């Protein structure tokens, strides 16, 4: 069985909070898409920063 990703766990927790607030399906969909995009941007930024740090160490 595959271990759930931190991204998925975080988004599921947020969506469960939206359930507690009785948010409608459209609101949950928008929040899901927004959070997924934020995670991707943060990952990409961290990846770029790691590449920059590695090049800096090599010089």
pLDDT band (50, 70, 90) for residue 4: confident
Predicted TM-score of the model (pTM):
0.66
Q: What ranges do the domains of the chain cover?
A: 6-58
Q: What is the reported pLDDT for 12?
A: 92
pLDDT beyond 90 at 20: yes
Q: What is the reported pLDDT for 42?
A: 87
3-state secondary structure the chain: CCCCCHHHHHHHHHHHHHHHCCCCHHHHHHHHHHHHHHHHHHHHHHHHHHHHHHHHHHC
Q: What percent of the chain has pLDDT over 90?
A: 44
């Amino acid at each position: 069985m595959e271990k759930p990703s931190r991204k998925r766990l975080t988004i599921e927790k947020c969506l469960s909070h939206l359930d507690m607030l009785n948010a409608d399906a459209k609101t949950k969909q928008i929040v899901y898409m927004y959070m997924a995009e934020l995670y991707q941007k943060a990952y990409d930024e961290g990846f770029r920063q790691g590449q920059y740090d590695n090049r800096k160490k090599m010089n």
